Amino acid sequence: MIATGRAPFSVRLGWGERGAEALLPTSDVMVVVDVITFTTAVAVAAERGCAVYPHRWDRRGAVELSASLGAELAVSRSEVDAEHPYSLAPQTLSRLPLGSAIVLPSPNGSAISAAAGAGGAVVVAGSLRNAAAVARFARSAGQSIAVVAAGERWPDGSLDPALEDLVGAGAIIDGLRRRRRSPEATAAAAAYLCARRQGIRRTLMESVSAREQRDRGCREELEWAFALNTSKVVPILRDGAFRTR
């Protein structure tokens, strides 16, 4: 169970959709972190001035939304072809036309973002790529800040905490200086500092999630995901889409 009251902490950590739901009512800012790879992909698309519409992992609904918006649609990695060139793999989104719109479904970060958008908090997509920029924005945008690590899912749909999301959340929390952090948020920042001392890439490449991605032949997208503070974009959820401020 997550204590949701604002006092005594102004920076809190949550996990998954349930964590986001618990923290949302008492948060001014909610940062969603899904390093492999939703929020990394959002940052890459935002660098090209694109609007990114989060959507649950529902192919029919995503197709209908993209058609209604006249937007591109990201498909699963196995479906990428000349007609459908975009997926959650960040390198595919680096080729998006400047200023375009895309519907980007995912089972974790995208679903959390779409649900959080119905609340009153400012929702931001955070990753290792833009951790410092997101922390700076969050400091100026509100007093109560929730950082939600998306995690992965077990086959039964339950939460599987992911190291890369803990470290990514910690990178953002580390930038939230002079704010009182919950013990959970403090632990995430400590995990990030430990990984940074050992080398972010070196540490995360051996995580369960990264090894699974490598086994699937997706090593290139890990290089995009584990690049620390290479981007200054801050994607903010407005009118159903992440857009740069």
pLDDT digits (tens), the chain, 245 positions: 455 554 589 999 999 999 999 999 999 999 999 999 999 999 999 999 999 999 988 889 989 999 999 999 999 888 899 989 999 999 999 999 999 999 999 989 998 998 898 888 999 999 999 999 999 999 999 999 999 999 999 999 899 999 999 999 999 999 998 899 999 999 999 999 999 999 999 999 999 999 999 999 999 999 999 999 999 999 999 999 999 96
Which residue's structure tokens are 């948020």? Answer: 185
Within 10 angstroms of residue 141's Cβ, the number of other Cβ atoms is 16
Whose CA is closest to 47, among 234, 191, 176, 227?
234
Under CATH, to which class is 11-244 assigned?
alpha beta
What is the structure's pLDDT at 7? 52
Instruction: Count how many Cα atoms sit within 13 Å of the Cα of residue 26 in the half-sphere of its side chain.
Output: 16
The structure tokens listed for 106 are 């995912």
pTM of the model: 0.94
CA 76 to chain centre: 18
Alpha-carbon distance of 162 to 150, in angstroms, equals 8
∠ CA(111), CA(14), CA(59), 5° rounding? 10
| DSSP letter for each residue of 18-68 | HHHHHHGGG-SEEEEE-TTTHHHHHHHHHTTT-EEEEE-S-HHHHHHHHHH
**Whether 181 contacts 146, CB under 8 Å:** no
Please report the pLDDT score of residue 1 as a whole number. Answer: 46
